Amino acid sequence: MKTNYYISLALTNLLRRKRASIVNILMITISLTILLLTTTLNSSLSKYIDEYLYNSLDYRTLIINTFKLQPNVKETIVNIVNSDDNIVEFNEELFGIVTEVNSIETLNTESDSKSNFKKLILKSRKNQYENIVVAGEFFDTTDVNVGIIPKKFYPDTTFQIDYSKEKVDFIDGESLIGKTITLKYFARDYSSNEMSIIKEFSYSFKVVGVYDIVPNHFYPYNVIIPFNDLKEIYTNIEQHNIGLAEDFNISYSVIVDNQKNVENVITKLNNKGFVVNRAAVLGPIGEISKYILYSGNILGLIILITSLINLTLTMIQSMKKRTGEIGLMKAIGYNNQNLTIIASFEAVIIGIISFIISCIILLGFIVFFRWGIANYGSMYVQAIKVRTNLSLILQTAIISIIVPLLGSIYAMRYAIKISPKVALSKGRENN
């Protein structure tokens, strides 16, 4: 087949300018690798953000703060909620309450680790957490003194979400199913400087199930208890607290069906005069992801353009060197189409080699990233699956062919212009 000939001729010609070919391949490889790498990282992060952050309940939950003295507040909100198909739930919002851990059945909280196991936060919403249980079961709304805890449980509110692997020993939440945890909480005098304790209360609950904190973007110290239990705790505290304003806020929460509709709902509520906050916002990870994409693409494109220019120059120089040879080929019957194919094969082979090398490098990076994340990433980071996808690979493959072809256009035009007559003359230029 002729193709074989073109390929072998292209390879021989590339080997004739070994150093230039290596530089061409190197530059294109670098730019392709950067493009592949940044798009891969960005798509992995975007997927993570979509699946774990945007999709989490809190990201779609809006908190509406109102004043007790405001008239018909609830009715107004209910009207909005009923008229909007995108709002799937509406509840009174009870914010999480910090409690101190008294005891955890079977664990000796005093001696195990003095500084840890101090505080956890009780959370509840009327019925929106139901499907988050991964082991055990969720409680009924009428149940009392039950709770679900994180699978990786760490009752210490000083815990911070970080990128690097947590340096703490989590308690296996599943091992506590059926066990009872006892907590204490306080009413305080907020007018005093040290916010002194007025009254101590106790609350205990039986662990009935565990949930995964990562997809919900919770903390290892968040415990979910029945709404009525939390409401009672609120009442106890409010009754005895001193020094807080009488027109204490009531907050409501609405859940939007899809994160795409969240902005619309916020605008709608704002227009009715409500102050609205998201229950959760996208942290720096969204910025990081964008930053990687933009800076990577810009860098990749700059290098790509440089390598395009470099390749163009190399190919023209090589064609000029081969003027006599090409003139001879024309004299013995090679037509412009044949010569165009020869030039484009040289270019495409450079592209294909660069593409293959960059895919191998990408594979190495993916393996490296996965290893790093598995060994050094926090549990949140571990939810990031670094993987590329076929469309990115295909895009890059197309770039790897098109760019060298562009780079060979000038060389082709030069080759086409060469007259077969130049084969006849030694030093004489064709006219």
Partner 1 sequence: MEAVIVANNLVKQFKNVKAVNNISIEIKKGCFYAIMGRSGSGKTTLLSLLGMLDNPTSGKLYVNGCDALTLEDKDKSKIRMKEFGFVFQEFHLNPALKAYENVMIPMHINPNYKNKNKQKKSIELLELFGLKERYNHFPSQLSGGEQQRVALARALANDPMCVFADEPTGNLDVESEKIVFDYLKMLSKAGKSIVVVSHNEIVLNYADEVFYMTEGNLKEK
Ligand X SMILES: Nc1ncnc2c1ncn2[C@@H]1O[C@H](COP(=O)(O)OP(=O)(O)OP(=O)(O)O)[C@@H](O)[C@H]1O
- Residue 350 or residue 423: which is nearer to ligand X going by CB? 423
Using CA atoms, how far apart are residues 309 and 302, in angstroms rounded to an integer? 11
CA–CA gap between residue 363 and residue 357 (Å, rounded): 10
Q: CB of 369: closest distance to partner 1 in angstroms?
A: 42
Shortest CB 421 distance to ligand X, Å: 7
Residue with smaller CB distance to ligand X, 114 or 428 = 428
Q: How far is the CB of 395 from ligand X (least distance, A)?
A: 48
Give the span between the Cα atoms of 249 and 52, in whole angstroms: 31
Closer CB to partner 1, 328 or 401, in the complex? 328
- In the complex, least distance from residue 417 CB atom to ligand X, rounded to whole angstroms: 15
Q: Which of residues 275-294 bind ligand X (CB under 6 A)?
A: none
Is residue 427 a contact residue for ligand X (CB under 6 A)? no
Report how far residue 280's alpha carbon sits from residue 282's, in angstroms, rounded to the nearest whole number: 7
Q: Check residue 431 for interaction with ligand X (CB under 6 A).
A: yes
Closest CB to ligand X among residues 251, 419: 419
Residues of this chain that interact with partner 1 (CB under 8 A) are: 1-2, 5, 12-13, 15-16, 324-325, 327-338, 419-421, 423-426, 431
Distance between start and end Cα atoms, the chain: 36
CB closer to partner 1, 286 vs 324? 324
Q: How far apart are CA 121 and CA 213, in angstroms?
A: 13
**Shortest Å distance, C-beta 49 to partner 1:** 52
Q: Which does 267 bind (CB under 5 to 8 A by kind): partner 1, ligand X, none?
A: none
294 CB contacts (<8 Å, ≥6 apart)? none
| Phi, psi (degrees; rounded to nearest 5) at 163 | -85, -35
- Residue 388's binding partner, choosing from partner 1, ligand X, none, with beta-carbon cut-off 5 to 8 A by kind? none
Structure tokens at 273: 């005069």
Residue 375 touching ligand X (CB under 6 A)? no
Of residues 125 and 330, the one with the C-beta less far from ligand X: 330
Question: Which residues, including other chains, have CB under 8 Å from residue 213's CB and lie 6 or more apart?
Answer: 150, 151, 152, 219, 220, 222, 379
d(CA 244, CA 191): 8
16 binds, among partner 1, ligand X, none (CB under 5 to 8 A by kind): partner 1
Tell me how far, at minimum, the Cβ of 301 lies from partner 1, in Å: 34
Q: Which does 420 bind (CB under 5 to 8 A by kind): ligand X, partner 1, none?
A: partner 1
Residue closer to ligand X by CB (options 4, 431) is 431
| Residue showing the smallest CB distance to ligand X in the complex | 431
CB of 16 to partner 1, least distance (A): 5
Size of the site for ligand X (CB under 6 A): 2
Report the greatest alpha carbon distance in the chain: 109
Query: 1 contacts which partner out of ligand X, partner 1, none, CB within 5 to 8 A by kind?
Result: partner 1
CA–CA distance, 355 with 404 (Å, rounded to integer): 11
Instruction: Report d(CA 286, CA 216) in Å as an integer.
Output: 17
Q: Least separation, in Å, of the C-beta of 346 and partner 1?
A: 12
Q: How far is the CB of 395 from partner 1 (least distance, A)?
A: 34
- Return the one option of ligand X, partner 1, none that residue 338 interacts with (CB less than 5 to 8 A, by type): partner 1
Tell me if 37 sits within 8 A of 296, measured CB to CB.
yes
Residues 161 and 380 sit within 8 Å (Cβ to Cβ): yes
Residues in the chain: 431
Q: Of 3 and 375, which CB lies nearer to partner 1 in the complex structure? A: 3
* Alpha-carbon torsion angle 159, 164, 167, 169, nearest 10: 80
Q: How far is the CB of 313 from partner 1 (least distance, A)?
A: 21
Residue 271 interacting partner from ligand X, partner 1, none (CB closer than 5 to 8 Å by kind): none
406 Cβ contact partners less than 8 Å away, ≥ 6 residues apart? 308, 312
Report d(CA 248, CA 127) in Å as an integer. 24
Residue 200 token pair: 């101590």
Q: Which is nearer to ligand X, 19 or 428 (CB)?
A: 428
Q: Which of 81, 63, 43, 126 is nearest to 292 (CA)?
A: 43
Nearer to ligand X, 8 or 425 (CB): 425
Which does residue 286 bind out of ligand X, partner 1, none, counting CB within 5 to 8 angstroms by kind? none
Instruction: Tell me which H or E stretch contains 305.
Output: helix 284-321
Give alpha helix (H) positions in 196-261. 213-216, 227-240
Residues that bind ligand X (CB under 6 A): 428, 431
